[in-house]
Amino acid sequence: MFSRAYKAAVTLPPLVWVTMFLLMPYLLMFCYSFWSVSASQTIVHSWNLDNYGQLLRVDVYWQTLLRSMWIAARVTVFSLVLGYPLAYFLSFYAGKKKDLLYQLVIIPLWVSYLVRAYAWKTILGSDGVLNTLLQYMHLTKHPLEFLLYSPFAVVLTLTHIYTPFAFLPIYAALEHIPRNLVEASHDLGATPGQTFWKVILPLSIPGVVAGATFAFVLSLGDFLAPLLLGGPSGIMISNIVVSLFGAAYNWPLGAAISFCMLLLVVTLLVFSERLEKKWSFS
Amino acid sequence: MTTSEIAVNMTSGSDRGGRAPLLSIRSVAKHFGKNVVLRDISLDVAEGEFLTILGESGSGKTTLLRIIAGFETASAGEVWMGEERLDRQPPYRRRVNTVFQHYALFPHLTVEQNVAYGLRVAKRPEMEIASRVSEALEKVKMSAHAKSKPSKISGGQQQRIALARALVNRPRLLLLDEPLSALDANLRRQMQVELKSLQREVGISFIFVTHDQEEAMVMSDRIALLRSGELEQVATPREIYGRPATAYAAQFIGHTNLLKGEVRGGIVRCGVLTWAAELPDGPVLFSLRPENVRLAAGNSASAGSVRVRGRVRHQAFHGATELIRVECGDGLVLVVRTPGSGGALNDVELEFSAADAVLVRESPERI
């Protein structure tokens, strides 16, 4: 139907793009992860597994990676706990206000990430809004120090930022559920609660999986929130990668960590896609 | 027949031997904003009855069904089931089950789990669920597909599962919302027969919604004809066909000739047709079924019959019968259904019995 020339013209630009900006950098990163840095701060192009060995040997690397996963896991759970009821309410009970509320959920996505992270800094700091309020109400005598520069602050901020990402696919999945299935369930004697557990929740699982994947993957790789709000106890693996590529000038080690993360994320995506397929019925 | 007799006729089917009705719809109305969908509907359904709500799309038939099921609330009026006020109950407390137009089977559950759904949520013992589900599947001849997912079976099979899923709960009343409309013609005819015999077997009252008058005629004990949100006539298929109350009922169910005329001094005059009738003076409208008009034979008209000459305008051969359009002069065209006439006709003389011309009310345009 289409000529060969046409097909080539259409496929070539994206192919070039993917090669130049995706495959090449990844390949380069993969190569770097086997090289090393000499004492005179030059990259030595000799192939070995030292960087990966270091990753396992040096506590701070794998511990930070584990902590990052733990933070991401908490962010995922909180995003789902906030995002699901919101999506459920919007999809089933908001009626005519649906579109307006939907926009309100989406609007924060248009606000710069930095602005939102700084906003939390203002809220959580020693002289911040929250501490001032607590002391004003005589609930605390001194500013609560754990609020800012802690994993708590990171989890809170990332939850705030990534809840809309969890919300969106859940909302889409709920909107796709034919309403006559809900009616059929009620018709067969199921209360609204039973209908939720037996029909609505199972049919929205693909959305939940997609939302969880978004929240986990995005917060796992986050480095701004820990940088601004995490303090020493709240640093995440990306902060280490950033410093390895920057001040520390150890690109090979940074590449090795990056490659491990890439592997982790790809595994996760494959796994979540399988899960979504298994639970999709349309 | 006088208008008061017609009024009696309209309700005659509803009080079956004086038994209390199973379902009683009392002055139900429904409007969405300014849009009136149902107006003052009163209708009783007897125990074990197969009642069809027949109407064109937009007549409000599905809305009425949804009010009975509980998916819509009536703007006015009440729905009673025996001594129990139904319209204040949420759908999951009503002993009413629905077969949905597009079946609405749960896609994540197997056929068996779909059928078991109502019993599971009612927390029946697993032993009982298993035996009732397999019995229900057997009844609709679907035991072989118990473990399939709904997406893996055909439309007709999904239809049977939807039926089994509703009936397994032993509802007092089953609502069916155009359940056969998605099936092809042959399967539909087969399902009509099966559904009717299944209904006799289980003895549950059915309210069946359709726009297909033939389907309504074949299956129903009674037909409630709905037009623009109002009941036009409620009667048995034979009654509604033989004695339509309104011009709309006569035209919607089967073919008819509508004869507009006037009565003066006991003589009906419809264009070139005249006959004697004991009716008060004034304008009248008659329905005359094409099969009640014959090609006249012999010379003299028999007593009580009307004869008219005309010219054949069109002949359509239908196999067992033939439809002939005859122009009788003065703008009067009669459609006649005869057994095969044997060939092309030209000038004919028609004859019908005056008793077959049924007095009907006009059906005014409704917005």
Q: Check CB contact of B73 with chain A, cutoff 8 Å.
A: no
Statement: residue B257 has pLDDT above 90: yes
* pLDDT at site A231: 86
Statement: residue B225 has pLDDT above 80: yes
Task: Give whole-number Cα distances, B258 to A59, A258, B251, B335, in Å.
Answer: 96, 85, 8, 10
User: Which phi-psi region, left, alpha or beta, contains residue B168 (left: φ > 0; alpha: ψ -120 to 50)?
Assistant: alpha
pLDDT tens readout for residues A166-177: 999 999 999 999
Residue in A closest to B66 by C-alpha: A183
**Pairing assessment for the beta strands B205-210 and B173-177 based on DSSP bridges:** parallel
Domain boundaries, chain B: 3-251, 255-359
Separation in Å, CA of B129 to nearest CA in chain A: 14
* pLDDT at site B5: 41
Amino acid residing at A233: S
Encode burial over A97-135: b for 16+ CB neighbours within 10 A, e otherwise.
Answer: ebeeebeebeeeeeeeeeebbeebeebbbeebebbeebe
By the 8 A CB rule, do B274 and B268 touch?
Answer: yes
Amino acid residing at B181: S
Best residue of B67, B95, B98 to probe chain A, by most A CBs closer than 10 Å: B98
Best residue of A188, A201, A203 to probe chain B, by most B CBs closer than 10 Å: A188
**Pairing assessment for the beta strands B267-270 and B84-85 based on DSSP bridges:** unpaired
Angle at B110 between CA B179 and CA B192, to 5 degrees: 20
Position A111 confidence tier, pLDDT thresholds 50, 70, 90:
confident
Domain boundaries, chain A: 52-113+158-278
Grouping H, G, I as helix, E, B as strand and the rest as coil, residue A94 is coil
By the 8 A CB rule, do B278 and B266 touch?
Answer: yes
Distance from C-alpha of A252 to C-alpha of A44, rounded to nearest angstrom: 9
Statement: residue B311 has pLDDT above 60: yes
* pLDDT at site B11: 43
Distance from C-alpha of B197 to C-alpha of B62, rounded to nearest angstrom: 24
Chain A environment of B117 (Cβ under 8 Å): 185, 188, 190, 198
Q: Which two tokens stand for residue A241?
A: 């990668």
Distance from C-alpha of A181 to C-alpha of A184, rounded to nearest angstrom: 5
Q: Which two tokens stand for residue A34?
A: 């086997």
Position B8 confidence tier, pLDDT thresholds 50, 70, 90:
very low
Grouping H, G, I as helix, E, B as strand and the rest as coil, residue B307 is strand
To which H or E segment does residue B132 belong?
Answer: helix B126-139
Chain B environment of A281 (Cβ under 8 Å): 107-108, 149, 151
* pLDDT at site A19: 94
Per-window interface: A 181-200 vs B, CB < 8 A: 181, 183-192, 194, 198-199
Q: Check CB contact of A98 with chain B, cutoff 8 Å.
A: no
Statement: residue B53 has pLDDT above 70: yes
Distance from C-alpha of B169 to C-alpha of B16, rounded to nearest angstrom: 26
What phi and psi values does residue A30 have, to the nearest 5 degrees?
A: -60, -45
Q: Which two tokens stand for residue A93?
A: 């009970």
Position A1 confidence tier, pLDDT thresholds 50, 70, 90:
low
Domain covering B255-359 assigned CATH 2.40.50.100 in the classification: yes
**Across-strand partners of B23?**
B45, B81
ipTM: 0.84
Amino acid residing at A267: T
Statement: residue B250 has pLDDT above 90: yes
* pLDDT at site B19: 64
B321: exposed, middle or buried (Cβ count in 10 Å: 0-12, 13-18, 19+)? middle
Fold of domain A52-113+158-278? MetI-like fold (1.10.3720)
Statement: residue B17 has pLDDT above 50: no
Statement: residue B210 has pLDDT above 90: yes
pLDDT tens readout for residues A234-265: 899 999 999 999 888 899 999 999 999 999 99
Residue predicted with more confidence, B294 or A77:
A77
Sheet-wide strand order for B293-295: B293-295, B347-353, B305-317, B321-327, B333-339
**CA-derived radius of gyration, chain A:** 23
Q: What is the CATH number of domain B3-251?
A: 3.40.50.300
The answer to which of A162-171, B96-105, B283-292, B357-366 has the lowest mean pLDDT is B357-366
Residue in A closest to B167 by C-alpha: A188
The answer to which of A110-119, B106-115, B138-147, B171-180 has the lowest mean pLDDT is A110-119
Chain B environment of A181 (Cβ under 8 Å): 104, 106-107
Tell me what the pLDDT averaged over chain B comes to. Answer: 89
Please spell the DSSP secondary structure of B72-103, one letter per residue: S--SEEEEEETTEE-TTS-GGGSSEEEE-TT-
Tell me how far apart the 2 most distant CA atoms of chain B are, in Å. Answer: 78
* pLDDT at site A279: 86
pLDDT tens readout for residues A127-142: 888 888 888 888 888 8
